[in-house]
Amino acid sequence: MDHTQLASEILRQVGGTSNVVHLGHCATRLRFTLADDSKPDVEALKKVPGVLSVVKGAQFQVVVGNQVIEVFDEMQKLGDFGGDSRSAASSVQAPRPNGKKAGAVLLDFLVGVFQPLIPAMAGAGILKSLLLLLATFGWVDKTGQTYLILTFISGSVFYFLPILVALTVAAKLRVNHIVAAAAMSVLLFPDMTKMMTEGAQFLSFSITNVNYASQVFPSILGVLFYAYMEKLFTRISPKPIRVFFIPMMSLLLTVPFTLLVLGPVGFTLGTYLTSAVLFLFAHVGWVAVGILSALLPFIIATGMHKALTPYVVNSVTTSGREFLMLPALLAHNLSESAACFAVAIRTKDSGLRSLAVSSGISAMFGITEPALYGITLQKKRVLISIMIACFIGGSALGLFAVGGSTVVSPSLASISMFVDPEDGSKILLAIAGLLISFVASFILTLILWKEESLPAASVPEPQPEPEPRSALPTVPAAVLSKTHDNAPSLIELKQPVPGTVIALSDVRDEVFSTGAMGPGIAVVPSRGELYAPADGTIQMVFRTQHALAMELDGGAELLFHIGIDTVKLHGAGFDCQVKSGDRVKAGDLLMTFDVESIVAAGYDPVALTILTNKERYTVREAEPKQAAQGILAFVTPVPATV
C-alpha cells in the first residue's frame, strides 16, 4: 500500500475529514484531535497494512513508523486539518472534541504547541552541543568570529522562543498566527526591554521587569488571551472594517494585559515548575532518574511523555541544563536498542530478526516507537529486561548528575548534548551511563527472553501476482487411506502459521481454491514458521521440504503446503524440523521457511493446510469467541450414511 492509499484508508477509519479537528505528527505517529472519539474503527485501523499500532489517549494516535512524514503530507492533501492558521476575517472556530476530560484537553493542547517546535530546538541544540564539544577539547577558538556566528545560529532559536511559541499556539487555536506573533514580539522588542529595566508603567500600573528571552509560558498565556480577543472582535466588528479593526483592537488589549499580568504570571509558572522537579530530584535523589526511566515504556506508549516537554524546554532555556527527563530518556533509548539486538540474536524467525535489527538501530538513534510497539510491548520478558536495565542505567546517570542541554531525544548521535563546558568529565559519565544501560539490557534480554512456541499473528507480507499452478506433492495412498474406528467427534485446530487468514477460495491456484484437494485453511504468512495445529504424527516430509503430511489423533489427515509453485525452489528457503514418524503436540514447530526469499523469487507465499480425507471429515470455522481463545477451526467427522 503506497502512502496515498495508506493516508486515505487511515482517514476513512478515523471517521473521515469532518471528524478531524487537528492533525500533527511526531517521529513515528500521526496525532489526531478528533471531534468525536467514538467514530474511529480501532480494530480496522490496526489491520491496515502500514499501521503498526493505535493509541487512544489525550490524542488519537496512529503509529506508522518512519514513513510518518510522507503519510502526513498525503493526508494534508485530503483536507484542512488545522495545520495552517486562517486569517482573522475568515477564522472559524473548530469543533470541540466531545466528551474529553480537562486533563486530556490540556495534554492535547500542549502536544500541539510544543511538537512543531522540536525540530528547530533539536537542530539548534545539537549544533550548540557539538560546538561545546569542540571547544572543550580545544579544537576550535571560542573567541573566533566563525565560532561565535555558529553559536548565534543556535542561540537565536531559543532567544526567540516566545515568538515561535506564539506561532504554534495560534495554529493550534486556529487564529491569525502573524498577528499573534506580532503581539508577543513586543516582549523582546529592544526599546521595550530597556524601558522595563529602567522601570516602566502603563496607565500608572507598574510593569514587572522580566527577561522574556527563551520563555514559553508567558507567550502561551498571551496568545490564549489574544485568541479570545480575536473571536470577540470578529463577532462584533462591521465586515467592511474587519481587515484592520480586528487585529488593531486585539493588539491594543492583548499586549498591555500580557505585559502587566500574563507575562509575569507565565514567568512565575515556569519557575515554579522547574523548581518542583528540582525539589523532587534533590529529595528523592538519583533514584528518581532510574524510576522515571523504568516507567518510560508505559509513559511513551500512552504519549504521556509529551506532557513533560514544557518542563524540559523551560528547564533547558532558563538554567541551561535538565537533570531528570533527558538522562532517563538516554537510559531508556539505549536499553530498547540493546534488547532488540539481543532478540535478533536469539530468534530463529527471520521476520522477527529483521524487525528487531531495524528497530534496534532506530532506538539507538532516539526513535524508540518501532522497538516499543514491535518488540517490547509484545514480549513480557523483553519488557521486564528493559525496565530493569532502565532503572540501573538511569540511576547511574542520576548518581553521576549528568544533565542534558538540548530538547531532543537522547541517542548515540546526540550524546554531545551532555557536554558541560564547566566539567569535562560529564560527557564521559554520560557515555558510561549509556554503556551501562546498553550492556545491562542486552545481557538481561539474552538471559530472560525465550522465543514463544507459537507467536501471535502479525502484519501480512504482500502477495505477488499470481503464478502458474504448482506441481503438487502426491500424498502416499498409505497415508490417505488409513482409517480409525474411534474418531473423536471434534478436533480443535490452532492457527498453523502466523499471519492473516484468508478464504481458501481466494487462493490463486484452482486445485486449492476449488476444494479439489479438500477443505482447509489459507494464511498469508507474516513469519516463516509452521506449527502443529493439533496433536498427531508426521506421516511424510516431501523431498523439496515445502510440504508435509500429518495425521491427527483420531484419523484426520492434513497436508501442509507452503506457497504456490514453490516446488520449483527445490527446497531452497525451507527447513523441516521434523521427520516421518515423529510424534508432535499442538504448537510444536514443524518447519521454518524464508517468506522474503519466496516472494523475491516471484512465488506466492500463502500457507495452506488441507484436510485430505474429506470423505470422512470436514472443516468448520470457529466462532469469534472461540477464535479469541486461539482456536481457528474444528475438524468434525462426516455423519455416516445409511
Choose the catalytic residue: 26, 340, 390, 576. Answer: 26
3-state secondary structure 554-600: CCCEEEEEECCCHHHHCCCCEEECCCCCCEECCCCEEEEECHHHHHH
d(CA 451, CA 346): 8
- Exposed, middle or buried, 302 (CB in 10 Å: 0-12/13-18/19+)? middle
CB 376 within 8 A of CB 386: yes
Q: How many CB atoms lie within 10 A of CB 231?
A: 17
In order, the DSSP letters of 215-262 are --HHHHHHHHHHHHHHHHHHHHS-GGGHHHHHHHHHHHHHHHHIIIII
Radius of gyration of the chain (CA): 31
d(CA 603, CA 419): 53
Within 13 Å of residue 91, how many CA atoms lie on the same side as its CB?
Answer: 28
Which of 52, 51, 60, 67 has the alpha carbon at shortest distance from 23? 60
In order, the DSSP letters of 199-211 are -EEETTEEEP---
Within 13 Å of residue 180, how many CA atoms lie on the same side as its CB?
Answer: 34
Three-state secondary structure call for residue 371: helix
Which of 394, 141, 205, 151 has the alpha carbon at shortest distance from 281? 394
d(CA 462, CA 499): 11
Integer angstrom CA distances of residue 442 from 333, 374, 378, 502, 550:
13, 17, 17, 38, 39
CB 157 within 8 A of CB 120: yes
Angle at 551 between CA 549 and CA 556, to 5 degrees: 115
Say how far residue 498 (Cα) sits from the centre of its chain.
22
Which of 303, 308, 307, 370 has the alpha carbon at shortest distance from 333? 370
b/e 363-373 (16+ beta carbons within 10 angstroms → b): bbebbbbbbbb
26 is an active site residue: yes
- Side chain identity at 196, as an amino acid letter? M
Which of 457, 623, 453, 503 has the alpha carbon at shortest distance from 46? 457
Active-site residues, by number, are 26
